[in-house]
Structure 1
Amino acid sequence: MKNKFLFLLFLFLSFNFFGQSIVKNVPFTNIGPSVMSGRVVDFDVNPDQPTEFYVAYASGGLWYTNNNGTSFTAVTETAPTQNMGDVAVDWKSGTIYIGTGESNSSRSSYAGIGILKSTDKGKTWTNVGLTDSHHIGRMIINKNNTDEVVVGAIGHLYSSNAERGIFKTTDGGKSWKNVLFIDNNTGVIDLSVSPTNPDIMYAASWERTRKAWDFDGAGEHSAIYKSTDAGSTWTKMTNAKSGFPSDGGVGRIGLAAFSDDVIFALLDNQNRRPAEKKVTSEGLKKEDFETMSTVDFSKLDTKKLDEFLKTNRFDKKYTAKSVKEKVENGSIKPIDLSVYLTDANSVMFDTPVIGAEVYKSTDGGKTWSKTHKGFIDGLYSSYGYYFGLIAVNTKNEDKVYIGGVPLLKSVDGGKTFKSIGRENVHSDHQAIWVNPNLNGHVINGNDGGVNITYDDGENWTKNNSLAVGQYYYVNVDNKKPYNVYGGFQDNGVWYGPSTYKASKSWESTGEYPYKRIGGGDGMQVQIDSRDNNLVYSGSQFGYYTRLNIETGERLSFNPKHELGDSPYRYNWQTPILLSPHNQDILYMAANKLLRSMDKGENFEVISGDLTTGGKKGNVPFGTIATISESPFQFGMIYTGSDDGLIQLTKDGGVTWSKISDDLPQGLWVSRVIASQHEKNRVYATLNGYRSDDFKAYAYVSEDMGNTWKSIANGLPDYSINVIKEDPTDENLLYLGTDNEVYVSFDKGQNWQVFSHGIPKVAVHDLVIQEREKDLIIGTHGRSLYKANIATLQQYNTVKNKTVALFKLPETRHSSRWGNSWSQFSKPYLPNIEVSYFTSNAGTVKLEVLADEKNVLYSETLKTDSGFNFTNYDVSVSEKSLKSYFGKKKIELKKGDNGKCYLPKGEYLLRLTSGNVSVTEKLVVK
């Protein structure tokens, strides 16, 4: 109850925080994209009408369709989070439960806030508890009693906690009982109930510990449990005698019950594979050098060594001759050739674990047997923690589906499998629903959205109409209209027009407005300001490309350390930066800062290790996470690391100084920004997400980091990802957190919520298009939003005025105004956005005047304190038109909609608050 009270108090404070925001009416527009979608985590399908279902996205909220995915409606726009773990629906009553917080335990698996419940199909939501569980694996509603719900809670991702295991409520979430608790590092990832008997349930526990530098996704407490009383009590079923692995290598387990006694399990077996017999080969392999002596190395065939170096893309300066000389003089050892090829990707993909295994029990979980011989290669690699997908057709025991990379189907009970992914289906699979009443009908959720098949995977439709992309980074060019670029989680790098409007018209042309220019997990982007066609972009762990979009010319680079030195440690989102002083100069960061003077052709190291030195683990750590060069001085560069260090060089890397000693230690430096207004000013944000610390850390220094001042006053406990200065007003700052965007008009002394029209979603990046005065928000779950900030940039000149009216956009007259092409089409309606500022809430009078005396239009508007926006449709009363324009013998025509519109000319728009009036010219060309 204490956690629930704190949550409600937090919601109250957040509401009041938003309610007093003077920018709460500034409109944001979603500008897509949608075609690449985002990660799906769960479905709930109406069993009586399978064209009706809900789909939950990892960080994009819950959506509903009743037309088989042709279109979707957002269900969680007003919910306090978009971070989904699982959804469960009672279709008879329409009651929806959401287990918030993603279950995949990935780098961007955001924590939730407990269980949300709606009894009005998502119009309103109530938090019904388990707020400290953070991540929910699965929920099951008793089909005979809507108030009876069983929840598998995984618990915190980066720290130990007690609110994990299995919880049950019998009163619709008013109270919960922890019916299975194992320990503070073991939660429950999956639940499965017999399709015919709600009393019989199975659960999969999962022991996992994740740190920023290491992830152990296996342990002896990972096991399968069973309940025969609808989840009230549980018995552990797997042990050394059961036939199911029960040692420290047991990882994530997925479950699929076929009947009371028949249950399938998909195991991520993290035990190492037996050593394979070496197959003799003429070519040299990386492993050959791990134990090779200096003497044996000197005897290597020169041609074979040269071939090895070339095949494995060693730097051209390393030849068989030069490498042998280095080994001979002792500057390197043979093992250094193996180390040279070891990076984060090789560790992630090459670890020789057993991987995916399918087990089956026919006696209610007492005994288990593996359904197949050998290994299911190519499904899990070494990161099975990301998947765990298994399903069985409950009318056909032999029809089993498992998912990882790719999606596999078995028609013989798991003895053999074949891939059923196709060219329009993403390769990473997270959720599946199998229709037991229509053979071959399957709904699949993956990292690229929703796919549906009716012929068991031979053909799939792609149902991606939702802007639920998971951006890591965004940038803009200077074209007209300008383009927006960005990298997506598991969906590469794309760019597209800032004028994008959601429409299916592209399907008739085959040309989607956004274009893909890179694969993998899309990361940072830099655009040459001299030539907007020259773009630098990349994927995870420092694999980057320079691409000329116009010619298609491409250069790939992933700078390597010097042979004999320690390998570079690249961050998952490796930072790159084009120097504002010379666009030929590209900075790229590992644990050291690298610089290219020739557009990425060659790199040199310009620093020592700018981190604390890394930690032993299977995730690169001790890496640079952010770079910023001062626009005032070439070579004045700041770096921030994932282990809390901020470093500064004033001489292009010749000397460096650590400037973060006075800041909180050990946090991820999510952004460091050299001011574009004052040379000595620098901003920094720190992020404790990877230690389950969600406090807001934001700082400014006016003396190059010698001293720091906190500017996080009043911000709620959301981790901060980015801070940006306004290019026009030095007092104006923008800040993106894991839940909202904020703005400050006084350099961070006070903050206000700036998220009108944007749900509660993680914001990874912000960028400003200076010419158009647009702020672009890159969300990790709802793609892109755009707002014009021209009015905000004038705040400090109007803040003391009773009312201020901002310049009106010109509009071009059209004979189409109010008219339609036919009786079946809607009239074309003009619109002028009127933006204004008022110091107090109340009402204002809006008038359109032909001159100082003749009023053509009048309307009273309700206003809030701060910025306000209204749309004027350029219509006027017929009476006023006739009385004024009739004297001028101007022919006036009504539109098909019966309205009269302003003729071409110049008018005044007047705004009056109390006894204060302001005017702006209104031009109809």
Structure 2
Amino acid sequence: GAGGGGLWKTVNGGLTWSALFTREGSYSVGDLALDPTNSEVVWLGSGEANMRNSVSFGNGVYKSVDGGKTWKHLGLANTLHIARVLVNPLATDTAWVCAVGRQAGPSEDRGVFMTTDGGATWRKTLYLDNQHGCSDLDVDPKNPNVLYAALWKFERKPWTHTSGSEQGGIWKSIDGGRTWTKSSKGLPKLLGRLGVKVAPSRPSVVYITAESFEGTLYRSDDAAENWRETTRNREVVSRGFYYSDLRVDPTDENRVYAVASNLLVSIDAGKTWRNIVGGTHIDYHSLWIDPTNPSRMWQGQDGGIAVTYDRGNTWEPVTNIPLGQFYQIHADQRLPFYHVTGGLQDNGTWSGPSRTREPAGILNDDFTMVSFGDGFHVVSHPDNPDLFVSESQGGSIMLTNMRTREQQMVSPQPKNDWVQNLKYRFNWNTPIVPSPHGKTTLYFGSNFLFQSRDFGKSWEPISPDLTTNNPEKLKPAGGPVWLDNSTAENNNTIISVGESPAAAGVIWVGTDDGNLQLSADGGKTWNNLAKNVPGVPAFAPVSHVEPSRTGRDTAYVSFDAHLLDDYRPLIFKTTDAGKNWTRLTAGLPDTAYVHIVREDPKNARLLYAGTELGLYASWNGGEQWQP
């Protein structure tokens, strides 16, 4: 299961894959569980639980009794993010669900839920309050009356996140998950995200990984009566809110795997660690160990999946499954077949043909990496499609000539530092937008708007700070345990830019803190129009601005407020340069928050909306939308 790519199945060890779960109410998989007595019975908890700001939500629990061909929705729709699903190995109509719950606001639909009738009904059995969700859950395989759960306080906003509290921690049940008791002897008081695993070969041994100021791995030898710290190695957890996961070898209680930025193994109960990445990738989120042959393991990370048959000494990457996540794409005009270039999550920027005359079709080898890092916006030169301006996270912009393989950094601010110390702030996903009125003119957004007239070789600011410039939103993200500065929470930045195709110098800008700016004179003066748009939450990010080709005063704008706990679709149109706006959301689902709205280049009445729930189109100028 993929956090943003649905469910896949292989019956031949990964040689071929079939896409399952393609017509249900979610495409985001949080966790899977197979019935231990019947592998045709699959339980699926929807909604990824690794709580990045780009995480996708789900709508509860699903079950298949025919190997994934068909599915039945079993409820818990409001849990949104499910970290773990477990099935009782001795009574398979009993299952438990560990739900993180809403990402950006309070909710009662979080904690541990239990069913004893195959999912027909559910009962919430572990609940602390509307701010603490469940980050992990495990069961004693020899005595499924014994379970362990980790409760975690987490909340995200566009500019920061909160991870941890003194109220969270580890709970234990000895009656099959019906009642729970907190287990804290030997653990720190302040804890962030926790992972918990039972040693299958010796269930009295239990491990937890911990986002804490003290230890990062703890072990209990008496079924969670007492805990002792085994290491303070930060690499075991890496980034608390994003990882904090582990596995225990099914035959050796002292062999522990840390699933984090790197994949690590310890053979001495966590005292010392060895990296077993083997060059596969980075950022690990899943590890399956064959319970009958622990030398065979499958790993899942930001680059895909890989398999080992020798306990991680060597790995075989599996490259025949389409799980890449594109932030942005760009099409050039080369002949006979245009190329598509796109920036991928943690996999750089790649370019390749849309068609080919080769009998085998388009192959992986037909695509070429343009630049490294997380990939985002990219544009190619209209007269030289092998010349690219691309970027990685936080405004690291590159000029690349694919013919000569020359590459140079061309950011107007190459310095890296805490965002509050920088003059120019760049978003994780910074817009690079070509002008419709000049082949070599580009726009690049920070908190200022930059313009280049020589296709990225040089840049000049053409605006003042167009954001709210709120210093409270420029502080390091995270806490009260660990801080985080990956640029993913950079705020008070420009996230959308568009110049009117109908009039040069009419430039629209949207920011991640709710400003909607318009210049009618090429950037000399600006007018903030945000207050004119009705029914939008304060400081809601302007996810896209789309100037219409039908007139200089006509534009569309979308807002994405889901990190303010508002999932509504928000699309508006103006025909008077932003003085008045009409909402255009009829037909869109209530939780289909909008990433982008586009006007068709040939038919101005045809609009497209890219939402979290898929692509929608309107054939009547936005009056009604259809999937």
TM-score range, shorter chain: over 0.9
CA deviation profile, 1:169-200 (whole Å, cap 9, x unmatched): 11112211111111111111111112222111
CA deviation profile, 1:301-339 (whole Å, cap 9, x unmatched): xxxxxxxxxxxxxxxxxxxxxxxxxxxxxxxxxxxxxxx
C-alpha distance in 2 between matches for 1:639 and 1:230: 55
Confirm or deny: 8 A CA contact 1:590 1:624 kept in the other structure. Answer: yes
Q: State the partner residue of 1:48.
A: none
Matched-pair identity in %: 35
Q: State the partner residue of 1:529.
A: 382
Q: State the partner residue of 1:577.
A: 433
SS of residue paired to 1:661: helix
Is residue 684 of structure 1 aligned with residue 557 of structure 2?
yes
- Using the size of structure 2 for normalisation, the TM-score is 0.92
C-alpha distance in 1 between matches for 2:265 and 2:517: 52
Q: CA deviation at 1:501?
A: 11
Distance 1:513 1:221, change over 3 A: farther
Q: State the partner residue of 1:473.
A: 328
Confirm or deny: 8 A CA contact 1:398 1:413 kept in the other structure. Answer: yes
Q: State the partner residue of 2:167.
A: 221
Q: State the partner residue of 1:802.
A: none
Q: State the partner residue of 2:517.
A: 647
C-alpha distance in 1 between matches for 2:309 and 2:332: 43
C-alpha distance in 1 between matches for 2:567 and 2:421: 37
What pairs up with 1:204-603 in 2 under 5 angstroms?
Answer: 204-238=150-184, 242-247=185-190, 250-258=191-199, 259-269=202-212, 271=213, 357-372=216-231, 375-381=232-238, 383-423=239-279, 425-480=280-335, 481-499=337-355, 512-560=365-413, 567-603=423-459
C-alpha distance in 1 between matches for 2:367 and 2:141: 43
C-alpha distance in 2 between matches for 1:561 and 1:362: 51
Confirm or deny: 8 A CA contact 1:168 1:176 kept in the other structure. Answer: yes
C-alpha distance in 2 between matches for 1:708 and 1:505: 46
SS of residue paired to 2:504: coil
Farther off after superposition, 357-366 or 580-589:
580-589
Q: CA deviation at 1:506?
A: 8.3
CA deviation profile, 1:611-646 (whole Å, cap 9, x unmatched): 222343422222111000112333211001112221
Q: State the partner residue of 2:503.
A: 633
C-alpha distance in 1 between matches for 2:463 and 2:257: 51
C-alpha distance in 1 between matches for 2:334 and 2:361: 24
Q: State the partner residue of 2:83.
A: 137
C-alpha distance in 2 between matches for 1:673 and 1:503: 39
Q: State the partner residue of 2:545.
A: 672
Larger helix proportion of the pair: 1
C-alpha distance in 2 between matches for 1:502 and 1:517: 23
CA deviation profile, 1:104-148 (whole Å, cap 9, x unmatched): 001211111011122222222222111111111111110112211
Q: CA deviation at 1:566?
A: 5.5
Q: State the partner residue of 2:138.
A: 192
CA deviation profile, 1:753-792 (whole Å, cap 9, x unmatched): 2xxxxxxxxxxxxxxxxxxxxxxxxxxxxxxxxxxxxxxx
C-alpha distance in 2 between matches for 1:84 and 1:608: 43
Distance 1:62 1:476, change over 3 A: same
Amino acid at match of 1:252: R
Question: Relative CO higher for 1 or 2, CA cutoff 8 Å, sep ≥ 6?
Answer: 1
SS of residue paired to 2:233: coil
Distance 1:586 1:408, change over 3 A: same
**Uncovered stretches (5+) of structure 2, i.e. residues with no partner:** 478-488
Amino acid at match of 2:55: S
Distance 1:503 1:491, change over 3 A: farther
Q: CA deviation at 1:561?
A: 9.9
C-alpha distance in 2 between matches for 1:752 and 1:555: 44
Q: State the partner residue of 1:701.
A: 574
Is residue 86 of structure 1 aligned with residue 31 of structure 2?
yes
C-alpha distance in 1 between matches for 2:377 and 2:183: 47
SS of residue paired to 2:310: coil
C-alpha distance in 1 between matches for 2:491 and 2:356: 38
Q: State the partner residue of 2:18.
A: 73
Confirm or deny: 8 A CA contact 1:528 1:578 kept in the other structure. Answer: no
C-alpha distance in 2 between matches for 1:602 and 1:499: 34
Q: CA deviation at 1:677?
A: 2.7
Amino acid at match of 1:195: P
Q: CA deviation at 1:474?
A: 0.8
Is residue 751 of structure 1 aligned with residue 625 of structure 2?
yes
C-alpha distance in 2 between matches for 1:486 and 1:501: 22
Q: State the partner residue of 1:661.
A: 531
Confirm or deny: 8 A CA contact 1:391 1:401 kept in the other structure. Answer: yes
C-alpha distance in 1 between matches for 2:362 and 2:4: 26
Q: State the partner residue of 2:480.
A: none
Amino acid at match of 2:546: I
C-alpha distance in 1 between matches for 2:80 and 2:143: 30
Larger Rg: 1
C-alpha distance in 2 between matches for 1:490 and 1:225: 35
Of 602, 614, 618, the match for 1:728: 602
Q: CA deviation at 1:439?
A: 4.1
**Uncovered stretches (5+) of structure 1, i.e. residues with no partner:** 1-55, 272-353, 754-925
Amino acid at match of 1:668: P
Q: How many residues align?
A: 602
SS of residue paired to 1:371: strand
C-alpha distance in 2 between matches for 1:87 and 1:689: 26
SS of residue paired to 1:700: strand
Q: CA deviation at 1:741?
A: 1.3
Distance 1:153 1:63, change over 3 A: same
SS of residue paired to 2:92: strand
Amino acid at match of 2:37: K
SS of residue paired to 2:394: helix
C-alpha distance in 1 between matches for 2:236 and 2:251: 26
Confirm or deny: 8 A CA contact 1:195 1:394 kept in the other structure. Answer: no
Q: State the partner residue of 1:621.
A: 491
Amino acid at match of 2:3: A
Q: State the partner residue of 2:483.
A: none
Confirm or deny: 8 A CA contact 2:187 2:228 kept in the other structure. Answer: yes
C-alpha distance in 1 between matches for 2:188 and 2:554: 58
Confirm or deny: 8 A CA contact 2:349 2:375 kept in the other structure. Answer: yes
C-alpha distance in 1 between matches for 2:383 and 2:11: 49
Farther off after superposition, 120-129 or 398-407:
120-129
Is residue 740 of structure 1 aligned with residue 595 of structure 2?
no
Is residue 151 of structure 1 aligned with residue 82 of structure 2?
no
Confirm or deny: 8 A CA contact 2:60 2:80 kept in the other structure. Answer: yes
Distance 1:490 1:566, change over 3 A: closer
Confirm or deny: 8 A CA contact 2:58 2:81 kept in the other structure. Answer: yes
SS of residue paired to 1:532: strand
Distance 1:215 1:502, change over 3 A: farther
Amino acid at match of 2:389: Y
C-alpha distance in 1 between matches for 2:92 and 2:461: 63
Q: State the partner residue of 2:118.
A: 172
C-alpha distance in 1 between matches for 2:73 and 2:342: 34
Distance 1:391 1:502, change over 3 A: farther
CA deviation profile, 1:206-242 (whole Å, cap 9, x unmatched): 111211111121211221111111211111001xxx2
Amino acid at match of 1:732: L
